[in-house]
Structure 1
């Protein structure tokens, strides 16, 4: 298989040596978590491909919001990666020849398509760009490879869930690395938990980084900046994900750095959320069902001390906190559950929540009967239905969870777009689930980052995203590799000129 031509790579390196920023194409971009991290590390986000209409507009609003209307709308268009070609995107956005348009390709193809895609199929797409059409179950990842071949980037980032290491009997990331080797890249991947990198969330994800062999540089993953002991559930998930890896024979896998106990502890939920305005409308009877729009600013409370993390979220360059307050600090209306949220212990899951609800129901029945009111069995049953969640205790052990103020959050998922019981606020006096802005804080989105749409789509965009701080740590490493390559090229030219 013929590797990427040196002429294109050399031309891109020369451009970087002239002082121009590396240009990013973000595939499966969502609202822009990876894009934001790369932008913060000095890259320029020139294009994104995202099929979801609201997420695509969110991405455009944050990264191209200063453009004229016609140009902005081009960036805001939802695009289906299975039906649009790389050269079409470059043409539509006025970026010129697709081979020269981008320096870095990033993104996370959804893993559902991977189960039956094997090494032969992955290699097939490298020689036959339309091979993805043969097996639509694998088309998303095969399209990602197609975009890599068409754009000839200097570097690549792929993100995915831990299951990508053991999906349908495949180590998908290992297979990706092998194909990228064939395409002329040095590829490495690692299973990293974001809590070790100052994100207030224990989120395990696999990250693959690749650089073109012509750069002559290696790949380093970021060192941990925080240290913690992960709960047993996370260790179990990691063990299953790593089951297919032969760590002695595997040439592409790199063990993540977990730091040492002398490092600072993890960023906690209280550090992440403690400076935000309390929400009590639901306790005052002022909250109703329906879509929550982001049209009412809520001022920040006056506070003497703000955590380093909260200050970073308020002061992120280009995404500073809005002067009039937060417009997306809104929550779901859950009138049945406030008392349960308040009484649950920190760190409690659904079985404890259900037991708490039953206890509150029993206490309420006793209180009514003590006051002289006689309740029929039907009335008791109706009260039970009104006060106790109906889900079987054994079927949904992780459905509910109350944040611990002294520890990072559990993983935020896209499912919070449907309900937010997985992230109940640690402040028992507020008796509620987290708000949209609090979800964004736990993902490390700065306060000035705008989410389009209403509450549920915003939750979903946040849950689907890569934490920008984690993306920035990886982007920093890629930037170091690019700078090392351009410095090496400059030194070589000086030596040749001296001769």
Structure 2
């Protein structure tokens, strides 16, 4: 029987995807997600769809799924064709807001999902904006009134109430330095997780031993930090990930095995080339007087149509000028004509490059690439993207704002904070020969930090490119509009990293030599009392 999983704050399901992709020696899944909880509507729809996929044998999806991917049938029509699988998926993926939904209702859903299982795994990452360095910077620190600071306690309450055998908790690097009232938040989170009854005494919870996934012996807080690029993830994503093991379990988990770094070019370089679009063009700014008598700057724009001819007319003269100034004459090829599409059919749909993730991404039944459509950008931003990509190609680094100023002052953004010095890397080209920088939810707002390294494409990354950087398989479909899709990808745990963690967790439950499930070995001791041998647990 597979090991049950409950997934909290699930997002689009990155952790669950990694765990449910681990199979035994006969191809069956080692873990089964019994319940995933997520509050966001679009992410919940994505969770439901991926849960539907998991109702079929691993990597054996029906033809109708690919008809849906290709746009031949709708999602509702797909579900109608497989009602049993859909109802199982709908039961598993629950839209609820932890911390607001009644704890009694949450507990009932968990108890129903688990049945009589006592040895199961809890996974998830409580919302992290309050702990992130960027989030703290925006609001001037961490406030006691920010409910996100305490949402980890809902995770802790579920541990205290339901006693998983193992839990995996993920959060941002900023958690390590975050303080509230001059006390390090990470310190009291570790204490609470080790002894849930110290916070929720009514549940008589067992204790937990907290382990690092990268160090056998922990000597400092940073030993809990995972640098994803060291473990085959094509991005420099640094996250705190803890693994807790119930005190009655003898076995301790291992640690992740380091692997060669995977560069960005190898995972997105073979995707079909597409161009950006032009949304509008900045014309001028004026000071306007509002009703209260105060003046403010108002920007005026003109709209563009997105035909290739109109796009080329705006870009090509500027391209030639840049090539001359950067001494790259003759370099630039013909710009691609298509902006891509939600499903872009291609003869090379499953090519993922020759690297360690090739098989992970690939689904040989796909006849195209999904979510590979470019955004439209402000014309002036596109010129900055083109300059940045060409400059990076020539200098092996992306330009800072001062480089734009020295090259051509017209390339500087028309923003008041340009001269503040706070955003010197406002436009960042992703370097092709290195892992990408961290894909965050900010990618949903604009593409300035995620400029494609290929100048002829002159654009920011697509959802599929961001998803590959996050190691989502190519047949993973994200629901919602494009902003929703970017947001889901940016908030996720990389599934391939979760897959490696799942392998470590599985060895707490399974014998390593024959793949057979064993009863969890309790950390027990026998005493003789009045001639009778009794069993006690050592906590």
Asked if 1:418 corresponds to 2:445, the answer is yes
Asked if the contact 1:86/1:150 (under 8 Å) is kept, the reply is no
TM-score, normalised on structure 2? Answer: 0.64
Asked if the contact 1:349/1:397 (under 8 Å) is kept, the reply is no
For 1:98-497, what aligned pairs fall within 5 Å after superposition? 100=117, 103-112=120-129, 136=147, 138-168=149-179, 169-183=182-196, 184-189=207-212, 190-226=224-260, 266-280=261-275, 282=277, 285-286=306-307, 295-299=342-346, 301=348, 306-309=353-356, 311-315=358-362, 320=363, 323-334=366-377, 335-344=379-388, 345-346=391-392, 348-349=397-398, 351-352=400-401, 355-356=403-404, 359=407, 384=410, 388-391=412-415, 392-393=418-419, 394-483=421-510, 487=518
Asked if the contact 1:321/1:447 (under 8 Å) is kept, the reply is no
- Which of 18, 41, 47 is equivalent to 1:37? 18
Q: How many residues align?
A: 388
Structure 2 vs 1, CA of residues 442 and 145 (structure 1 numbering), >3 Å: closer, same or farther?
A: same
- Unaligned runs of at least 5 residues, structure 1: 1-19, 116-132, 227-265, 362-383, 493-499
Structure 2 vs 1, CA of residues 200 and 88 (structure 1 numbering), >3 Å: closer, same or farther?
A: same
Asked if the contact 2:131/2:172 (under 8 Å) is kept, the reply is no
Which deviations, in whole Å up to 9, do the C-alpha atoms of 1:241-285 show, x marking residues without a partner?
Answer: xxxxxxxxxxxxxxxxxxxxxxxxx10011111121110364994
How far apart, in 2, do the equivalents of 1:444 and 1:465 lie?
10
How far apart, in 2, do the equivalents of 1:294 and 1:412 lie?
21
Shift of 1:415: 0.5
Structure 2 vs 1, CA of residues 491 and 49 (structure 1 numbering), >3 Å: closer, same or farther?
A: closer
Structure 2 vs 1, CA of residues 101 and 462 (structure 1 numbering), >3 Å: closer, same or farther?
A: farther
Shift of 1:93: 8.1
Where 2:370 maps in the other structure, the secondary structure is coil
Structure 2 vs 1, CA of residues 489 and 201 (structure 1 numbering), >3 Å: closer, same or farther?
A: closer
How far apart, in 1, do the equivalents of 2:460 and 2:346 lie?
20
Which deviations, in whole Å up to 9, do the C-alpha atoms of 1:85-121 show, x marking residues without a partner?
Answer: 5663575589356673770001111235579xxxxxx
How far apart, in 2, do the equivalents of 1:456 and 1:305 lie?
25
- Unaligned runs of at least 5 residues, structure 2: 23-29, 56-83, 133-143, 197-206, 213-223, 279-304, 312-338, 524-539
Structure 2 vs 1, CA of residues 32 and 165 (structure 1 numbering), >3 Å: closer, same or farther?
A: same
Tell me the equivalent position of 2:43: 55
Structure 2 vs 1, CA of residues 295 and 39 (structure 1 numbering), >3 Å: closer, same or farther?
A: same
Asked if the contact 2:52/2:86 (under 8 Å) is kept, the reply is no
TM-score, normalised on structure 1? Answer: 0.69
Asked if the contact 2:340/2:372 (under 8 Å) is kept, the reply is no
Which deviations, in whole Å up to 9, do the C-alpha atoms of 1:350-372 show, x marking residues without a partner?
Answer: 624x63477357xxxxxxxxxxx
Where 1:433 maps in the other structure, the secondary structure is coil
Asked if 1:23 corresponds to 2:4, the answer is yes
Shift of 1:475: 1.4
Which structure is higher in helix share? 1
Where 1:328 maps in the other structure, the secondary structure is strand
Where 2:371 maps in the other structure, the secondary structure is coil
Asked if 1:64 corresponds to 2:52, the answer is yes
Shift of 1:430: 1.1
How far apart, in 1, do the equivalents of 2:147 and 2:385 lie?
44
How far apart, in 1, do the equivalents of 2:452 and 2:146 lie?
44
Structure 2 vs 1, CA of residues 135 and 415 (structure 1 numbering), >3 Å: closer, same or farther?
A: closer
Tell me the equivalent position of 1:233: none
Root-mean-square deviation over aligned CA pairs: 3.6
